[in-house]
Structure 1
Amino acid sequence: MSLKIGYRTLKTAVGAGLAVAIAQALHLDFYGSAAIITILCISVTRRDSLKVSWARFVACMIGMLLSGMLFELIGYQPWTLTLIILAFIPIVVRLKITEGIATSSVIILHLYTVGEMSFSLVINEILIITIGIGVALLMNLYMPNSDRALRHYHKEIELHFKKILHELSVYLRYGESDWDGKEIPETVELLSKGKNLAMRNIQNHILRYEDQYYYYFKMREKQFEIIERLMPYVSKINKTVEQSETVADFLDEVSDAVSPINRVPYFLDKIKTMKQGFEEMPLPTSREEFEVRSSLLYIMHELEEYLHIKDRLWNHVDKKKL
């Protein structure tokens, strides 16, 4: 069995070694702790890394100040350490910097181990913290490019939408279909993975809070909810009427047009024309025909909402990128 090393594991290993090397070169005490801080500060995204690093730095400063005061006032005893932790944790929780508890504990234990406060010790600890956090931020400058994966999800989702809409048209046209429906759960998974990756991509840009792909996946997710809503109505139609052919043709046309290109106005006009045509047709002659035509009108209503969703979110999507 081959051993696969991920990019984050590689960054952590390189960062830990680099942090120790720098701390050793500066002849710092407890230089190994620089590696621990680096490991703790390497995160999944750049933005998260900055947040965690800031929390750890502030918490370390608070921990060093608090422990230095109490150790000097009460003494370097185990029960003093207990009091420090009892006082320290509520403070960082209140300040919402709990990520710094582990790192600060290391610094506090350094002070306890030395058994005295001195200017050189404070500088030593600040340098260890700075080296650990700095190396972690340096390692997190590299993040894998997710554009290729995002384009893959985008393409697969559009293929699945085409297939699903086409199969719905087949059922409306013939009243039966041998489709196994496997694209339904696959689409759910693709939408989830694509949206999560797009969100992570946003978090990897410090000053960017929007992502074109994220809006695209969100749009398709809302459209897919509509497809799921209308499917039971399609499956209930077991009699073909003239209007079934019309709606089936429309679904086929929408299926062929699934793409980032905005053809919403064209299809909305077509639905309006179809509705007018339905109104001009003779009234149903049987209860069964009435129910079929009612289901078809509901399907048209949902398809109209399907199109409006794309129209509302279209301005957020960068057509060139997609």
Structure 2
Amino acid sequence: MKHKLGMRTIKTAVGATLAMLISESLGLNYALSAGIITVLSVQNTKRKSLETGLARLNSTLLALGISCLMFTLFGFNSVAFGIYLLIFIPLAVKFKLSDGIAVSSVLVTHVLGEGTISLAILWNEVMLMVVGAGIAILFNLYMPNMIAQIKKDQDEIEEHFRTVLFCLANTTRSQAVAIDEEELFESLERHLDEARTRAERNRQNYFLEEMTYYVQYMEMRAMQYQVLTSMRQTLGKVMMTVEQSNLLADLTEHIANSLHEFNTADELIQETQTVLICCRNQELPKSREEFENRAMLFQYLNDVMHLLEIKRQFIQNLTPKQIELFNPQALEKATN
């Protein structure tokens, strides 16, 4: 079986080698440790790599400070190292430096092995961390651009939403469930999960707040998906007149045809309210069964309203910078 080398694997191998070579050229002892630190510090995203590197540097400073005190008080022995761990680990957890516990403790064993404390020894350990984590951060400045794939995800998800909505419209009009309805919903859910993961990884590669846009978009669609499942369940419980089924089917089809990333949904919300008023003005139910069906009918329309409100809230929550960065022409057209 052939295995393709991933970008992270290549960066880890090259970075670890470079970290050891730099450490050796600087005359640092235990240069191999710098390579190990790089291996442990290469992450999937720029932000995670920077956060991990800074956390491990702070963790190293804390570990060296505590260990120096323990070795001075109790000597350079296993008991002193154990006492150091008893103090260091809880503090590292408290200050959210857990990622650096193992690496920092390895550096402390270097001091333990030296059997003495000096500025040169402490500087050696700090520089090992700086070189190892620094190389990892430097290599992680390059990340494959995922914007094109995320935009493709958006297009495919919107098309999938249209298909599902048309399917619900057909179910409403015919009062019969489509054979492939289950697969449509499952496929959409899988695609949403993959796209949300990709959008979050992309956000972690930027330090600008505006780049949360794609995460917000995927979360919006995920919330709408939950509403679609509720609409689907409601359709399975309600029996409608021909007039009612045509009203709901037409509305659902209009929503499907109007589906767009920057559609504010204002017009669709007004249309839904009109349908609600129309249903309220219909003849009152004469039996318990008719009453229950009417309740299910309003439940479906309320779900439609919720579906559209989620989209309108998404548009309203966009910052001016996000509007400027992400297709402002489409937004302007949608709001006119």
Where do residues 117-196 of structure 1 align in structure 2 (5 Å cutoff)? 117-181=117-181, 182-196=183-197
Structure-1 separation of matches of 2:83 and 2:280:
80
Match of 1:253 in 2: 254
- 1:172 touches 1:237 (CA, 8 Å); kept in 2? no
1:220-246 CA distance string (max 9 Å, x none): 122122111121221223454212111
Corresponding residue for residue 320 of structure 1:
327
For residues 278-311 of structure 1, give each alpha carbon's deviation from its aligned partner in whole angstroms, at most 9, with x where no partner exists. 3444445666555444432321222122111111
Structure 1 residues 309 and 119: alpha-carbon distance in aligned structure 2, compared to 1, 3 A threshold: closer
* Percent identity between the two aligned chains: 32
Q: Deviations over 1:73-111 (max 9, x none)?
A: 432222222222223222222322121111111111111
Equivalent residue, structure 2, for 1:222: 223
Q: How far 1:263 sits from its partner (Å)?
A: 5.3
SS in 1 for 2:116: coil
Contact 1:174 1:240 in 2 (8 A): no
Partners of 2:287 and 2:93 lie apart in 1 by: 69
1:115 equivalent to 2:115? Answer yes
The residue identity in structure 2 corresponding to 1:97 is L
Structure 2 vs 1, CA of residues 89 and 116 (structure 1 numbering), >3 Å: closer, same or farther? same
**Inter-CA distance 303–48: structure 2 relative to 1 (3 Å threshold):** same
State the secondary structure of the residue aligned to 1:99.
helix
| Counterpart Cα distance in 2 of 1:187 and 1:123 | 54
Q: Quick one: distance in 2 between partners of 1:274 and 1:73?
A: 80
Cα drift, residue 55 of structure 1: 1.7
* Partner in structure 2 of residue 304 of structure 1: 305
Q: CA RMSD in A?
A: 2.2
The 3 A distance-change label for structure 1 pair 111 and 175 is: same
Aligned to 2:98: 98
* DSSP-derived class of the 1:144 partner: coil
Q: Deviations over 1:145-168 (max 9, x none)?
A: 111221222122112211111111
TM-score by length of 1: 0.91
Deviation at 1:200, TM superposition (A): 2.1
- Over 3 Å counting, the alpha-carbon distance change for 1:87 and 1:31 in structure 2 is same
Offset from partner CA, 1:11-47 (integer Å, 9 cap, x none): 1111101100101112221111111111122222222
* Aligned position for 2:5: 5
Q: How far off is 1:132 after superposition?
A: 0.9
Counterparts of 2:239 and 2:86, CA distance in 1? 70
Relative to structure 1, the CA distance from residue 29 to residue 174 in structure 2 (aligned partners, 3 Å threshold; closer, same or farther) is: same
User: 2:272 corresponds to which residue?
Assistant: 271
2:333 aligns with none
Q: Give deviations 1:223-277, integer Å, cap 9, x for gaps.
A: 1221111212212234542121111111111112222141522212222332333
Distance 1:261 1:82 in 2: 59
Q: Does the Cα contact within 8 Å between 2:66 and 2:84 map onto a contact in 1?
A: yes
Distance 1:299 1:70 in 2: 68
Q: What does residue range 51-90 of structure 1 map to in structure 2 within 5 Å?
A: 51-90=51-90
TM-score (norm 2): 0.88
Question: What SS does structure 2 have at the residue aligned with 1:211?
Answer: helix
More displaced, 111-120 or 281-290? 281-290
SS in 1 for 2:236: helix
The letter of the residue matching 2:77 is Q
Corresponding letter in the other structure for 2:123: I
3-state SS in 1 of match to 2:209 = coil
Hey, what's the Cα distance between the residues in 2 that align with 1:48 and 1:28?
A: 27
Distance change (3 Å), C-alpha of 1:91 and 1:173: closer
Structure 2 equivalent of residue 40 of structure 1? 40
* Larger CA deviation: 60-69 vs 16-25: 60-69
3-state DSSP of counterpart to 1:233: helix
Q: CA deviation at 1:9?
A: 1.4
In the superposition, relative to structure 1, how do residues 261 and 239 fare at CA in structure 2: closer, same or farther (>3 Å)? same
CA contact (8 A) 1:38 1:135 kept: yes
* 2:200 counterpart residue number: 199
Q: How many residues align structurally?
A: 322
2:264–2:312: 8 Å Cα contact kept in structure 1?
no
